[in-house]
Structure 1
Amino acid sequence: MIFIKLKDNTNNEVAFVHYMPFDENCGLGKSAEELQQIGILADSIQVPFPDTSTTTKLPILKYDGTNLFYDYIDSPIPSTNETKIAELESTILEMSTYMGTQDQKLAEQEQTIMELTTLLAGGTTNV
């Protein structure tokens, strides 16, 4: 048995699914009658069919009073991922530019240290 609880907003969306409601350790600690007062008991739940034409749909499990079914809604995930990727690419570019300037500064500092070391040892520099 599978326990299904609907959201309170009455648009038939499933809020919660428990696949072992009567299990001694992981169950909900209620009888079938108690669970049916607050939700639905089902033998199985159909697996959603992937939409092969697009990956921008998310399956939302719903109950119409008799049957469980999936409603497919537009997913905000791709646009969010694209935004995150663009932000990361921009950050990488900024960091690469910054590292390039740091490498140049480090080379200049190393040259200055070599010149100072030469001067301290009594030599001359080519400046």
Structure 2
Amino acid sequence: MPNTQMMLQLHDPGISQVRRAIGYLLSFLPSLAVLGSGMTKFWPDNEIHALLAQLGMGEYAIAIGLTEIACVLLYWIPRTSNLGFFLFCSYVGGITVAELILDQVPWPGLTIGAMIYAGTLLRKPSLLG
């Protein structure tokens, strides 16, 4: 049975300060990027809207922005951080697919995904089982 107290924390007890600090750094930077991306969806006539239009999703810009912001918020709320982690990783998979559809090298999606995954598992190794 999972330890309920561990599920309510942003990091597992007993990990080193260095591991925790690196984990938070690797988690915080991509969170800022996705949060910023979510915010840009509220201002029309920018590059993001043009890319979404190419994907046939221009009319969903605000909903996509709200999804990005929700993923980041759920990820950083201790009680919902595990759910947020899985939603965040799933969303980043969508970013990667969109980059591939646009014939772009998916470095942003892959980098954000790798950082979220590595940062979270450094802070919460209990997610591995």
Give the TM interval when normalised to the shorter protein.
Answer: under 0.3
More helix by share: 2
| Larger relative contact order (CA 8 Å, sep ≥ 6) | 2
TM-score, normalised to structure 2's length? 0.24
TM-score, normalised to structure 1's length? 0.24
